[in-house]
Structure 1
Amino acid sequence: MKIALLGYGKMGQVIERIALERGHEIVLKKEEHNTFEGLSSADVAIDFSVPTAAVSNISSCFDAHVPVISGTTGWLEHYDEMVAYCHKKNGAFISSSNFSLGVNIFFELNEYLAKIMSKFESYNVSMEEIHHTQKLDAPSGTAISLAKGVIENSSYNTWTLEKPETDHPSDSELAKQIYIEAKRIGTVPGTHTVTYNSAVDAIEIKHTAHNREGFALGAVIAAEWIVGKQGVFNMKDVLELK
């Protein structure tokens, strides 16, 4: 399989190594100032760039009729626009806040737990995410996905970075907000914790990434899966979690 790498930072370099180990070929390594030359010869593109480049990268893939996997976060206000453009161009597209196989299992666990906990109003949910100091967006895309998983399966309706004054806010609107604490520490690749806290106990689920390998492997597996397909998909489709 011929792969175009759109973004050649630390993640792009790990993806390159794993792709080569799995027998694939890299036909383009696009950084900030070089062109898309070689994109049209690719079987698939993997975008791990920066928020300001994501829309241009993804659109260029659709124009070149190349399926695209995007792991870039911080640009999702344009997601519906990219979905519409994908359909217009009969393209293929997967965007995920996290391609790690373990994290996507964690997403499923989070949704299942949220369904159970929605029956117990004495528990208040909050989240913590920890990443390296070079991460540009906060909260992480993964934390936002976790919050959405809770919102879709409970009475919560939004998330916030503003810490409530109490662990059990009495105001009905505040009680419907999921507090996310975003920390930037050293070289931490990614730790996410979801906690349900009550006056008598707490229930916690946690995912800890030991390195970038899991993110990169998941992206390559998604790229292998999407070749030959048309439409907009997600990691539930790739991992058959639906």
Structure 2
Amino acid sequence: MTPRALVVQHEEKAPPGLLVPWLEQAGLECDVLPAHEGYAVPADLGDHAALVVLGGSMDAWDDGAYRWLLPTRALIAGTVSSGRAFLGVCLGHQLAALALGGAVGRQPGGQTTGLHPWRPTREGLADPFTSALQPGTEVLHFNSDAVTALPPGATLLAGDEDGTVQAARYGPLAWGVQFHPEVDDVLVQGWATGRRPEAEDATVRVLRQRQAELHPAWEQLIHRFGLLATTPQAQPA
């Protein structure tokens, strides 16, 4: 039976994008759960080999307005404690930090929009997942919140220029990234808020011009997660 990942989606404008074809190429089929449409987040992964939690424009702590966030955090905590594979993207990364005892707050300096260099720590360079991404590779940030304190036992794998967490390991097979490796220019264009029109327009324009150059590196990172999720003892190539 082909291993499958449960992918939790939070809103229509933040779909899994390129994650699905890239994970499927790595041998990990995807079942997308649109929680924003009223589909219940399960208490555990069941037969799924991995959990992926996507990004979204809501705050990670806003359980009153978005009632699926609390069960999503519980599912993340259970997945990490069980040793199954987990990947949190942007909001998913923040939900993992909260679920495991860390903290999330407003991004210092306001919303971060655009391409930023990947800045791995020594641990990030050696990590089986993040070692797939070469230092200095540009990745797409689009966030108003950030992880302000990692949970006990978590490992900082990369830090952005402003000192915020760019990536972290939450368990042997559990990771969170603040950036978006799943996007193309059309997807990001749908995130425009109008609050920073020049930055938003420039981000879409640059991504459109450079995504053929950037996507292979992002695909390699996602492919590595698929490999680790389906064959946990596999060593990186």
The two structures have a TM-score, normalised by structure 1, of 0.41
Larger radius of gyration: 1
